[in-house]
């Protein structure tokens, strides 16, 4: 059945309501099963040995003593993970990151692993593994790494994107450039120019649940993996490729997830657990400690960004440019590119240029973190915009409104925008009561905008109708933020039944076609589109069955308000048939009633947000506290408004933590100094005010209900909004994130000294 | 015939300026003809290219038609978190 995903206006009955989430009771009573809550008969305990050096050649690994220890069932090194990557450089980097092959590239890089009967034996075995290292010079700071004298993370990286290609290797993996016009020409017309450099430190996604999995590989080449992930289909593919397994013979089941935010879109320990299980011939459970999570997984980039923005006296921006250096950890990636694309995406600029540099350092592989790379770029740009408004003597929101991108604007990353929503978020901010609320002593207010691309992707769902008329929906995008509730609302809406009649589950990889990860704010956007299609297919079947029951042509049956109705003069007086009645008759009208859908959900549309933040700074201690915060963002259509608000609040909370406290701290020895939540401080409830939200609903033209992704954009403005507020409260421009008390005190001291 | 705008690295790889004109009715045909006419595009296709059609970005739907006079802009395939 053909499917048109275009938006058409309708009056919703279920969508837009706020029922209780179906997974809520299990989660608050402890029944929900997370990564570490699953067990298999005879399972072993896996543990990983990690490099104690920031950069070292692995000369020799002797596992013989560990293998002889009673209770040890398998010990592996990179030799047990042969290279099946067949020239795929990205896949090889994943393999090398999972277990170092020739060099340990950062403090915490896995070098060997064991599986034993119990944890004490496994830990003892790790101590018996003898690794001979040749310690190499290291570099962990993004600015140090770009210097010609910096130690090389890799010996043979010649910067891509340069013409001509450099003849000497460096830590610059790639140079990228975006923009249009002639920025020098634009700056020549500026009356006021702001030019500043900004730094942001590396942060972790800070998910509460550590990485955990249970792996079982059989001698016949089949396997199972229970894992905490944002995308079990992607994990299946990566794991099967790395272990040389047939993809369809590895069944992966996703557990409940205690946060991911991008950090669980990548395999880390899972291939190791599978390799341990394959060698031992028994299941292996591998759960990371918090220290391992910090040392060995997913931080975002540290950045160093130079921004220059010029404007005429009336506030029209004449030109904008930025040079952005993003650390990638020990493996090249696209983080600076995303920063370069998103930096000026909120604005209508005649002359704009961004240059990004992917910088390799001896730190863990940088990973996606909620709208990856956009928050740090926005911090630099939105801080400069704020300063520009001050220099011109113009209200910062008015300056943004004057220069905001709109339909027909050529975006800073290239294409011309269609209808977009930054204008409405700015207008809503301008008119929000927060903007006119009085500020107290030592308080300041900041505003910032943010942009993010949203994505769709491959999606597959099954919708099965039970004989009692209840509906089971199986989706393959992992529920990280309440999607099961939202998707049940969509199924109920489309079928014309109640929310309580629908149960949504996340199915394993052997039960559905491929589903992309829950990333790019795609979960509800994509799965709801697929559910609408599956429900429409099911309604077609239900009409056929009703026609069979009535013995009339199917064309004379319509589906309205959850019932089949006969139309036409010949049988218009037939009483309607409910879903329950048709389902009960299904065994004798053709068997099970179901709707299926496999599609590519594209056309997610870009997303914008505007945030307002009030901060109070203690001038004696330098401590900054957010006292009021407002998020304004377009949701297209808020399917379950409570969870949309939750996404807005969650993004803001993470951004506030990033802005004020969170920071990877490395010593001179290149070792991480604070791999734990005591020394790496994420915000807790008492650190935050109630975060106010305003949902705008401008329908997405490329979704039947107008739904837009909402998960990521909310983390883009907070760094800048908080920084602008702190700068206002402290009377000094803050240029280094996080704005921890010592940094604020130093800025205050420097200002008073001047 | 559609005019296709290229992001910086891609245009540098094929050495043909910022735009190319291609006879293609959908994304699949566009990629196929790009690879045929400009071998330098192959590594980028392998890595993933997203296509913006009148400002809406498509990453996977290669059947998407390229309307006459639409703005077609190629971008590297992005990832989210």
Q: What is the pLDDT of residue A569?
A: 80
Q: Cα–Cα distance between A583 and A594 in angstroms, integer?
A: 10
Selected for mutation to probe chain B from A264, A373, A414 (highest B CB count within 10 Å) is A414
Query: Quick one: A208 exposed, middle or buried, by C-beta within 10 A (0-12, 13-18, 19+)?
Result: exposed
Task: Answer whether residue A682 shows pLDDT above 90.
Answer: yes
Q: Cα–Cα distance between A209 and B39 in angstroms, integer?
A: 46
- A747, A672 in Cβ contact below 8 A? no
pTM higher than 0.95, yes or no? Answer: yes
Which residue among B57, B64, B81 sits closest to A261, beta carbon to beta carbon? Answer: B81
Write out chain A residues lying below 8 Å of B71, CB-based: 415-416
- A660, A742 in Cβ contact below 8 A? no
pLDDT grade for A251, boundaries at 50, 70 and 90: very high
Q: Cα–Cα distance between B31 and B20 in angstroms, integer?
A: 12
Selected for mutation to probe chain B from A229, A602, A654, A711 (highest B CB count within 10 Å) is A602
Task: Answer whether residue B19 shows pLDDT above 70.
Answer: yes
Q: What is the pLDDT of residue B80?
A: 85
For residue A308, the cross-strand partners are A195, A321
pLDDT grade for A430, boundaries at 50, 70 and 90: very high
Q: Cα–Cα distance between B29 and A73 in angstroms, integer?
A: 53
pLDDT digits (tens, 9 = 90+) for A718-753: 999 999 999 999 999 999 999 999 999 999 999 999
The distance of Cα A730 from the centroid of its chain, to the nearest Å, equals 32
pLDDT digits (tens, 9 = 90+) for A21-69: 999 999 999 999 999 999 999 999 999 999 999 999 999 999 999 999 9
Q: How close does chain B come to A504, measured CA to CA in Å?
A: 23
Strand order in the sheet with A443-452: A443-452, A607-617, A624-634, A691-696
pLDDT grade for A572, boundaries at 50, 70 and 90: confident
Judged by a CB distance cut-off of 8 A, whether residue B17 touches chain A is no
Strand order in the sheet with A557-560: A557-560, A563-566, A577-578
* Token couple for A285: 């459970």
pLDDT grade for A134, boundaries at 50, 70 and 90: very high
Contact B61 A600 (CB under 8 A): yes
Chain B residue at shortest CA distance from A299: B81
Q: How close does chain B come to A212, measured CA to CA in Å?
A: 19
Contact A265 B81 (CB under 8 A): yes
The gap between the terminal CA atoms of chain A, to the nearest Å, is 72
Helix, strand and coil percent figures for chain B, each rounded to 5: 35, 30, 35
Chain B residue at shortest CA distance from A355: B8
Contact B9 A163 (CB under 8 A): no
Q: Cα–Cα distance between A280 and A127 in angstroms, integer?
A: 19
Q: How close does chain A come to B3, measured CA to CA in Å?
A: 13
- B54, B2 in Cβ contact below 8 A? no
Judged by a CB distance cut-off of 8 A, whether residue B1 touches chain A is no
Which residue among B7, B55, B80 sits closest to A418, beta carbon to beta carbon? Answer: B55
Section B45-69 average pLDDT:
92
Query: Quick one: B29 exposed, middle or buried, by C-beta within 10 A (0-12, 13-18, 19+)?
Result: middle
Contact A415 B76 (CB under 8 A): no
pLDDT digits (tens, 9 = 90+) for A589-635: 999 999 999 999 998 989 999 999 999 999 999 999 999 999 999 99
Q: CATH for A24-32+456-600, among 3.30.365.10, 3.40.109.10, 3.30.70.1730, 3.60.40.10?
A: 3.30.365.10
Nearest to A514 by CA among A595, A639, A601, A454: A601
Contact A265 B78 (CB under 8 A): no
Chain A residue at shortest CA distance from B55: A417
Q: Cα–Cα distance between A285 and A194 in angstroms, integer?
A: 54
Contact B81 A458 (CB under 8 A): no
Listed range (A351-360, A388-397, B35-44) with the worst mean pLDDT: B35-44
What CATH number was assigned to the domain covering residues A416-451+605-753?
3.30.365.10
The gap between the terminal CA atoms of chain B, to the nearest Å, is 36
Section A557-572 average pLDDT:
91
Section A508-537 average pLDDT:
97
How far are the Cα atoms of A15, A188, A333, A697 from residue A12, in angstroms, in the given order? 6, 53, 43, 13
Number of inter-chain CB pairs under 8 A, A vs B: 104
Write out chain A residues lying below 8 Å of B54, CB-based: 415-416, 418
Write out chain B residues lying below 8 Å of A417, CB-based: 55
Q: What is the pLDDT of residue B79?
A: 84
Q: Cα–Cα distance between A544 and A551 in angstroms, integer?
A: 10
Write out chain A residues lying below 8 Å of B9, CB-based: 160-161, 176-177
* Token couple for B20: 């190319």
CATH 3.30.365.10 placement within chain A: 24-32+456-600, 416-451+605-753
Q: What is the mean pLDDT of chain A?
A: 97
Listed range (A291-295, A363-367, B27-31, B59-63) with the worst mean pLDDT: B59-63
* Token couple for A329: 């950890």
Contacts of A330 (CB under 8 A, 6+ apart): A97, A105, A106, A109, A153, A154, A360, A361, A362, A363, A364, A365
How far are the Cα atoms of A300, A414, A700, A704 from residue B67, in angstroms, in the given order? 39, 19, 20, 21
The complex's ipTM?
Answer: 0.93
3-state DSSP of A484-508: HHHHHHHHHHHHCCCHHHEEEEECC
Q: Cα–Cα distance between A444 and A441 in angstroms, integer?
A: 9
- A521, A452 in Cβ contact below 8 A? yes
What is the biggest distance separating any 2 CA atoms in chain B, rounded to whole angstroms?
36
The four Cα atoms A438, A439, A440, A441 give a dihedral, to 10 degrees, of: -140
Nearest to A74 by CA among A30, A19, A125: A125
Query: Quick one: A17 exposed, middle or buried, by C-beta within 10 A (0-12, 13-18, 19+)?
Result: middle
Contact A334 B80 (CB under 8 A): no
Contact A519 B75 (CB under 8 A): no
Residues composing chain A: 754
The distance of Cα A482 from the centroid of its chain, to the nearest Å, equals 15
- A339, A366 in Cβ contact below 8 A? no
Helix, strand and coil percent figures for chain A, each rounded to 5: 30, 25, 45
Q: Cα–Cα distance between A291 and A674 in angstroms, integer?
A: 9
- Quick check: helix, strand or coil at residue A342? helix
Q: Cα–Cα distance between A96 and A637 in angstroms, integer?
A: 42
pLDDT digits (tens, 9 = 90+) for A335-384: 999 999 999 999 999 999 999 999 999 999 999 999 999 999 999 999 99
* Token couple for A410: 């050529």
What does the buried/exposed string (b/e) look like for A246-275 if buried means 16 or more CB atoms within 10 Å of the residue's CB? eeebbbbbbbbbbbbbbbbbbbbbbbbbbb
Q: How close does chain A come to B16, measured CA to CA in Å?
A: 15
Contact A602 B9 (CB under 8 A): no
pLDDT grade for A1, boundaries at 50, 70 and 90: low
pLDDT digits (tens, 9 = 90+) for A71-121: 999 999 999 999 999 999 999 999 999 999 999 999 999 999 999 999 999
Concatenated DSSP letters for A630-694?
Answer: EEEEE-SS-SSHHHHHHHHHHHHHHHHHHHHT----B-TTS-BS--STTTS----GGG-PPEEEE
Write out chain B residues lying below 8 Å of A414, CB-based: 5, 7, 52, 73, 75
Contact A418 B73 (CB under 8 A): no
Write out chain B residues lying below 8 Å of A458, CB-based: 60
Contacts 24+ apart (CB under 8 A), A82-86: A82/A244, A84/A241, A84/A242, A84/A243, A84/A244, A85/A241, A85/A242
Q: Which backbone phi and psi does A401 adopt, to 5 degrees?
A: -60, -40
Q: How close does chain B come to A279, measured CA to CA in Å?
A: 33
């Amino acid at each position: 059945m053909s499917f048109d995903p275009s938006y058409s206006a309708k009056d919703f009955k279920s969508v837009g309501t706020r029922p209780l989430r179906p997974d809520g009771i299990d989660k608050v009573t402890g029944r929900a099963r997370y990564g570490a809550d699953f067990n298999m008969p005879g399972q072993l305990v896996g543990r990983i040995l990690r490099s104690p050096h920031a950069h070292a050649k692995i000369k020799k690994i002797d596992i013989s003593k560990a293998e002889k220890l009673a209770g040890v069932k398998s010990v592996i090194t990179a030799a047990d993970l042969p290279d099946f990557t067949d020239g795929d450089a990205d896949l090889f980097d994943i393999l090398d990151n999972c277990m170092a092959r020739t060099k340990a590239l950062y403090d915490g890089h896995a070098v060997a692993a064991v599986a034993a009967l119990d944890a004490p034996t496994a830990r003892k075995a790790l101590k018996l593994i003898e690794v001979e290292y040749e310690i190499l010079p290291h570099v962990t700071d993004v600015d140090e790494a770009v210097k010609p004298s910096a130690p090389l993370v890799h010996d043979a990286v010649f910067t891509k994107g340069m013409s001509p290609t450099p003849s000497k290797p460096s830590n610059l993996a790639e140079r990228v450039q975006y923009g249009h016009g002639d920025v020098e020409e634009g700056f020549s017309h500026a009356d006021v120019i702001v030019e500043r450099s900004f730094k942001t430190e590396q942060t972790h996604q800070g998910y509460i649940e550590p990485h955990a999995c249970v792996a079982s590989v059989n001698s016949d080449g089949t396997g199972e993996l229970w894992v905490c992930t944002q995308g079990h289909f992607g994990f299946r593919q990566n794991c099967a490729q790395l272990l040389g397994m047939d993809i369809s013979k590895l069944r992966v089941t996703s557990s409940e997830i205690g946060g991911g935010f991008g950090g669980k879109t990548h395999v880390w320990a899972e291939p190791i657990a599978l390799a341990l299980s394959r060698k031992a011939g028994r299941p292996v459970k591998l759960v990371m400690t918090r220290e391992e999570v910090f040392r060995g997984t997913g931080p975002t980039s540290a950045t160093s960004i130079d921004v220059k923005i010029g404007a005429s006296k009336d506030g029209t921006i004449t030109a904008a440019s930025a040079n952005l250096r993003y650390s990638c950890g020990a493996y090249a990636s696209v983080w600076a590119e995303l920063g370069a694309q998103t930096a000026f995406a909120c604005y209508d600029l005649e002359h704009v240029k961004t240059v990004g540099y992917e910088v390799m350092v001896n730190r863990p592989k940088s990973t996606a973190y909620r709208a990856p790379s956009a928050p740090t770029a926005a911090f630099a740009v939105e801080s400069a915009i704020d300063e520009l408004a001050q220099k011109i003597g113009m209200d910062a929101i008015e300056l943004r409104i004057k220069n905001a991108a709109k339909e027909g604007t050529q975006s800073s990353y290239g294409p011309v925008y269609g209808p977009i929503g930054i204008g409405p978020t700015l207008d809503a901010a301008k008119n929000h009561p927060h903007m006119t609320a009085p500020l107290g002593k030592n308080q300041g207010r900041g505003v910032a905008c943010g942009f993010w691309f949203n994505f769709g992707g491959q999606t597959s769902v099954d919708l099965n109708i039970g004989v009692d008329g209840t509906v089971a929906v199986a989706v393959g995008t992992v529920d990280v933020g309440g999607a099961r509730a939202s998707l049940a609302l969509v199924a109920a809406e489309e079928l014309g039944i109640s929310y309580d009649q629908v149960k949504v589950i996340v199915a394993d990889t052997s039960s559905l076609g491929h589903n992309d990860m829950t990333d790019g704010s795609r979960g509800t956007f994509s799965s709801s589109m697929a559910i609408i299609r599956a429900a429409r297919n099911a309604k077609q079947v239900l009409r056929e069955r009703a026609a069979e029951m009535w013995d009339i042509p199917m064309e004379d049956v319509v589906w309205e308000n959850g019932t089949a109705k006969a139309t036409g003069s010949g049988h218009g007086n037939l009483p309607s048939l409910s879903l329950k009645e048709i389902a009960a008759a299904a065994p004798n009208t053709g068997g099970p009633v179901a709707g299926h859908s496999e599609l590519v959900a594209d056309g997610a549309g870009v997303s914008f947000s505007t945030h307002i933040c009030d901060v109070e700074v203690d001038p004696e201690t330098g401590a900054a506290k957010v006292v009021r915060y407002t998020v304004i963002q377009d949701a297209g259509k808020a399917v379950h408004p409570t969870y949309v608000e939750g996404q807005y609040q969650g993004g803001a909370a993470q951004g506030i933590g990033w802005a004020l406290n969170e920071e990877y701290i490395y010593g001179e020895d290149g070792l991480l100094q604070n791999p734990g939540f005591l020394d790496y401080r994420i915000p807790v409830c008492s650190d935050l005010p109630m975060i106010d939200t305003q949902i705008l609903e401008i329908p997405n033209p490329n979704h039947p209900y107008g739904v837009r992704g909402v998960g990521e954009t909310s983390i883009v403005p907070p760094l800048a909004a908080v920084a602008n507020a702190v700068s206002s409260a402290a009377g000094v421009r803050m240029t280094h994130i996080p704005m921890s008390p010592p940094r604020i005190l130093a800025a205050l001291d420097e200002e008073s000294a001047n | 015939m559609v005019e296709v705008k290229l992001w910086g690295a891609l245009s540098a790889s094929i050495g043909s300026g910022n735009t190319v004109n291609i006879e293609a009715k959908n994304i699949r045909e566009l990629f196929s003809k790009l690879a045929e006419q400009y071998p330098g595009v192959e590594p980028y296709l392998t890595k993933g290219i997203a296509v913006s059609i009148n400002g809406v970005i498509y990453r996977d739907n290669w059947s998407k038609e390229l309307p006459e006079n639409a703005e077609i802009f190629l971008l590297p395939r992005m990832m989210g978190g």
